[in-house]
Amino acid sequence: MAFEKKWKDNLKLNETEKKKLVKDGLKIYDDIPYYAKNGFESIPKDQWDLFKWAGCYLQKPKEAGYFMMRVNVPSGILTHEQLITLAEIARDYGRDVYDITTRQAIQFHWLTIDQIPDIFTRLEKVGLSSAGACGDITRNIVGNPLAGIDPNELFDTTPIVKEVYEFFQFNEEFSNLPRKYKMSISTNKNNASNAEINCISFIPAIKEINGKETSGFHLKVGGGLSSAPHLAQELDVFLLPHQVKEVAIAVTTIFRDYGYREKRHHSRLKFLVADWGVEKFKEVLEGYTGKLLTKGTGFEQSWNAGYFYGVQPQKQEGLNYVGLSIPVGRLHSKEVFELARIVKKYGNGEIRNCNSQNLILPNIPAENIDELLKEPILEKFTPIPPKFIGYSVACTGNEYCNLALVETKARMKETASYLDEKITLDVPVRIHMVGCPNSCGQRAIADIGLQGIKARNEKKELVEAFEIYVGGTLANGGKLNEKLKGKVESPALHLVLEKFLQHFKENKLPSEAFLDYVARVGIEELQTYLTSILETVKAS
């Protein structure tokens, strides 16, 4: 179906937008068979970026011809057959790397163009797709990984997520958006989908309608991280479950037709919402949907940051889920196959990805729990992790990513493991490490955010280093963390954090969370202590 590209005559369009006027990103699917047959050299450089619409990025260095592929997993829910297929792809084509992302998707690395058609075939056979996992298009829909089994959900969102996801898949009416477009749909009372950092989020709410308490959604728009993070703002609307698809289409249409297309760094929906304000945005939205109900009462009570550790009861009597720690989200195919064996033996074969880069084994009968917990692989991927490695997140880093300035996965894992050896705390501290300002590892919402940079050392050499941010959360509408002055060279990071967190341990109140500690003592005191640590480390 055709739609009018209202922006086509704008003389200030950026270069990417000009290319998209000539060729829609999804058209890359028509070209991939030819490129696969004729090799990487047959792909013109000006077509490289279009692979994003097929969920593929060229790894670093691009000229080497290796692709990263991201596979959509709506709400993070995988069937046994899908899990096996993904593990086989990692084994057969991805040099055995299987990464869980902070948006519940799966990433592969080291793919070559000749392998991609077979990977597409394998994915399609089990109902999976990488289409739209990257690019200026609707990305993977984040949701409640416990949808359908969650004692803390208002109702099951699985069918809604499926309906909305399938509508946007390969839909060329919405494949030319100004920038990436991220959506979340959840009714978990603990904000499991990180609503405030998505472009559009449907969050649980209740409203009395005609004397009857009715379950539905409130709507937040305009969230997003990267170098200019914004927290999503709530509109004064209440939506019934059957209205979600209609409203999702309307908001996406607004972004497509009114979103900014002149400067790439200023093209996310968050900038349009910030300029318009929520009242105007609601007015324009109702121009598409008709009058909507006003807000009811929010159902969300807290924020769990996507962590579901341990053995927990499901809403189905006699069934439990088991939340496992997967350090920085990285697995290898043998480990995935082993987890697939376990969930088939003790559960119903499903597995679920969390946006904390961890996994949930669902639908385990109570009588199977003891045997499940004895499985050797749960010694490595434990349901009761230590306080640092269990609450650490890392983006892909410069191992594969062209944008990242530093290595992250190994660094974060080593740093967290070191901290667990040196410091024992009564509360977890969430540490997120990112390799660049794009913040795929969601640095801005962490207790402690570590952002990789390049810095000059005393010898004026350019080295890997980190900036430290503190005090991020999505509780109570959210608060972005604040930057502390000073740069930490990578080799000293674990020592600086050890001293910084030891100071926290010695000065915190009993059971006081790091976020509450930051609010109590203030940024200035933390800055003073960090500065003294950096001077000590520098002197040594």
Residue from 60, 139, 179, 270 carrying the catalytic annotation? 179
Rounded CA gap, 294 and 141, in Å? 25
Rounded CA gap, 351 and 289, in Å? 36
Rounded CA gap, 36 and 39, in Å? 5
Residue from 60, 103, 139, 180 carrying the catalytic annotation? 180
Tell which residue, 183, 191, 91, has the closest CA to residue 133: 183
Token pair for 75: 């709400």
Token pair for 152: 């803390």
Backbone angles phi, psi at 521, to 5 degrees: -85, -25
E strands, 186-326, in order: 200-209, 212-221, 233-234, 297-298, 310-313, 319-324
Long-range contacts for 486-491 (Cβ within 8 Å, ≥24 apart)? 486/530, 486/531, 486/534, 487/453, 487/455, 488/534, 488/537, 489/455, 489/457, 489/463, 489/464, 489/465, 490/406, 490/407, 490/411, 490/463, 490/464, 490/465, 490/466
Cβ pair 217, 254 in contact under 8 A: no
Contacts of 28 (CB under 8 A, 6+ apart): 47, 50, 51, 53, 54
Tell which residue, 412, 405, 397, has the closest CA to residue 326: 412
DSSP state letters, 144-211:
-TTTTT-TTBSS--HHHHHHHHHHHTT-TTSS--SS-B-EEE--BTT-TT-GGGSSEEEEEEEEEETT
| Catalytic-residue membership of 103 | no
Token pair for 31: 């070209």
- SS3 label, residue 516: helix
Residue from 94, 397, 435, 472 carrying the catalytic annotation? 435
Rounded CA gap, 29 and 440, in Å? 26
| Catalytic-residue membership of 452 | no
Maximal C-alpha separation, the chain: 73
Q: Which amino acid is at 309?
A: Y
| Catalytic-residue membership of 180 | yes
| Catalytic-residue membership of 94 | no
431-434 and 392-394 beta bridge pairing: parallel
Residues facing residue 56 across a β-bridge: 69
Residue from 20, 52, 70, 189 carrying the catalytic annotation? 70
Phi-psi region of 76 (alpha: psi -120 to 50; beta: other; left: phi over 0): left
Residue from 440, 443, 472, 478 carrying the catalytic annotation? 440
CA 334 to chain centre: 24
Cβ pair 239, 246 in contact under 8 A: no
> Among all residues, which ones are annotated catalytic?
70, 179-180, 435, 440-441
